[in-house]
Amino acid sequence: MDMMPDIPATFRPEQPAKVIRVLSDDGTLDPRHDPRLTEPEVLEIYRWMVTTRQLDERLVALQRQGRIGFHVGSLGEEAAIIGSAFAMRKTDWLFPCYREFGAALMRGLGLQKFMDNMFGNANDTVLGRQMPNHITSRATGFTSVSSPVGTQITQAVGFSWGAKIDGKDIASLVYFGDGATSSSDFHSGMNFAGVFKVPVVFLCRNNGWAISVPVERQTATRTFAEKAAAYGFPGVRVDGNDVFAMVSVVREAVRRGEQGLGPTLVEAITYRMGGHSTNDDPNRYRATDDLKPWAERDPLERLRQYLERRRLWDDAREQALIAEVDRNFRAAVAVAEKTPPPPLESMFEDVYEKPPWHLEEQRAEMLRGPRPPSAH
C-alpha cells in the first residue's frame, strides 16, 4: 500500500484476519477453537491422512512405471482435505476440485473403486471416460470431478440452494485452489451464495501455486479470505496444516449454514509439496529451499507428534498402518490392472439417457471396425 500514498488511510484494507490455529508446537490445543475430537476420531483422521499420503506416493510411482497415465495428488494438503471433509455431516455434499480422493475414500468410495478409476477399466464408475483421479461417487455424496478449475463452485451453490427450496438442510463443501479464485465461477458462486444465503463452505486450499504461477499472480489482495467481505459473508483464514483447526473452522461454517446465516469462505493456508501433477516438474519454477519451512510444518508430522505425546501412536503402529495400506494397495492394483477396458459400446452410452439415431449409427460404425493399432 506504500506505493499508493494518495489513497486516504480510511480506504486501506484492514489488517488481514489472524490465522486460526489450534495445535500449537508444544502439542497443546487452543481451547478457543478446540473441536474437542474424541481419541478415536483423531486416530481415524490420522489414519486417513496417512493413507492418503501413502497412496499418493505409490500412485506417483505407478505413473512413473507407465502403469497409469496420470496422477494429481495432495502431498502436504492432507489436513486441509481430510479435516474439512471430516467436519461435514453425513448428509452434506462434497464438490471436489481434483485433489480430494482422500476425502472420497474417507466417505466410503472404496479403494478398489478408486483404483479402477486410476486404470480406467470396465469397473470404473465412469467407465474410463475421464482421466485418472476424475472420480464420481454419488453414494458417498461426492460429485464428479472436471478438469477446468472453478466450475464446481457455482454447482455447489446450486445444489444446496436446490435443497433449500426443497426444504432440506444440506450443506455443500466445495474445494478449489488459489488459482480458481480468479475464475468467473468463483465470483458468481460467491455472489449467488451470498445473495440467497445458501449453506456452502467455500474451501480455498491456498497451496501457494497454480501449476507454476504463485499466489501473487492470482490476486492483489493480501489474503483470499478477505474476498468474502465483497460478497457479504465471513471469510476466515486457517492453518491448513492443522487438522484440529480445519475441523473446527469448517464445523463452525456448517453451523452458520444450519442457522440460516448462509455461506462461509475458508482460506486454508497450506503448501503443495509436490508438482501440480505427474506431468509437472516444480524444479523449473521454485527452489527446493522453498519447501523447508513447510516440511517443518508437515500436517502428518504435527498430528503424529500430538498422538505420540498422548501415547496414542508409536512407530510400531505407524509401520503396521503403512504395511496395511501397502497390502490393500497392491491387492487393488492387481485386480484393477487385470480388469479389462470398458466395452467398446460403452463409449456411446450416457451421452443421452437413450442413444439417438445418430449415436446408434456411429456405434455400429465403430463396432464394425477397423480397430486402432495400439491396445487400450
Partner 1 sequence: MPQMNMVQAVNEALRSAMRRDKRVVVMGEDVGKVGGVFRVTAGLSEEFGEARVVDTPLSENGIVGCAVGMALYGMVPVVEIQFADFIWPAYDQIVNELAKFRYRSGGEYPAKLVIRTPVGGGIKGGHYHSQHPESAFIHVAGLKVVCPSNPYDAKGLLLASIQDPDPILFFEPKRVYRAAKGEVPENDYVVPLGVAKVVRPGRHVTVLAYGAMLYEALDAAAKASEKGVEAEVIDLRTLWPVDIATIVTSVKQTGRLVVVHEAPRTCGFGAELVSLVTERCFYHLEAPPVRVTGFDTPFPYTLEMEYMPLSHRILPALLDCAKS
Among residues 66, 353, 374, 375, which is the contact residue for partner 1, using CB under 8 A?
353
Is 7 a binder of partner 1 (CB under 8 A)? no
Is 130 a binder of partner 1 (CB under 8 A)? yes
Peptide bond before residue 40 is cis, with ω within 30 degrees of 0: no
Would you call 134 a catalytic residue per the annotation?
no
- Secondary structure in 3-state letters for the chain: CCCCCCCCHHHCCCCCCCEECCECCCCCECCCCCCCCCHHHHHHHHHHHHHHHHHHHHHHHHHHCCCCCCCCCCCCCHHHHHHHHHHCCCCCEEECCCCCHHHHHHCCCCHHHHHHHHHCCCCCCCCCCCCCCCCEEHHHCEEECCCCCCHHHHHHHHHHHHHHHCCCCCCEEEEEECHHHHCHHHHHHHHHHHHCCCCEEEEEEECCEECCEEHHHCCCCCCCHHHHHHHCCCEEEEECCCHHHHHHHHHHHHHHHHCCCCCEEEEEECCCCCCCCCCCCHHHCCCHHHHHHHHHCCHHHHHHHHHHHCCCCCHHHHHHHHHHHHHHHHHHHHHHHHCCCCCHHHHHCCCCCCCCHHHHHHHHHHHHCCCCCCCC
Among residues 101, 159, 313, 329, which is the contact residue for partner 1, using CB under 8 A?
159
Is 308 a binder of partner 1 (CB under 8 A)? no
Active-site pick, 107, 272, 302, 304: 272
Buried b (16+ CB within 10 A) or exposed e, 86-100: bbbeeebbbbbbbbb
Q: Specify whether the CB–CB gap between 207 and 214 falls below 8 A.
A: no
* CB of residue 109 to partner 1, shortest distance in Å: 12
Is 188 a binder of partner 1 (CB under 8 A)? yes
Residues 161-180, one symbol each (x = binds partner 1 by CB under 8 A, - = not), give xxx-xx---x-x--------
Q: Specify whether the CB–CB gap between 342 and 122 falls below 8 A.
A: yes
Taking CB under 8 A as the binding criterion, the range among 260-268, 307-315, 333-341, 352-360 that sits at the site for partner 1 is 352-360
Judged by CB, which is closer to partner 1: 305, or 346?
346
Is 349 a binder of partner 1 (CB under 8 A)? yes
Residues 106-125, one symbol each (x = binds partner 1 by CB under 8 A, - = not), give ------------------xx
Among residues 5, 31, 40, 148, which is the contact residue for partner 1, using CB under 8 A?
148
Would you call 285 a catalytic residue per the annotation?
yes
Judged by CB, which is closer to partner 1: 129, or 317?
129
* CB of residue 352 to partner 1, shortest distance in Å: 5
Judged by CB, which is closer to partner 1: 24, or 147?
147
Judged by CB, which is closer to partner 1: 149, or 250?
149
Is 158 a binder of partner 1 (CB under 8 A)? yes
Judged by CB, which is closer to partner 1: 49, or 135?
135
The residue assigned the cell 444450519 is 258
* CB of residue 228 to partner 1, shortest distance in Å: 16
Taking CB under 8 A as the binding criterion, the range among 27-35, 60-68, 141-149, 218-226 that sits at the site for partner 1 is 141-149
Active-site pick, 21, 99, 251, 276: 276
Count residues near partner 1 (CB under 8 A): 46
* CB of residue 365 to partner 1, shortest distance in Å: 12
Judged by CB, which is closer to partner 1: 123, or 305?
123
Residue numbers at the binding site for partner 1 (CB under 8 A): 124-127, 129-130, 134, 136-138, 143-144, 146, 148, 151, 153-163, 165-166, 170, 172, 184-185, 187-189, 191-192, 195, 349-353, 356-358
Q: Which residues are catalytic?
A: 272, 276, 285
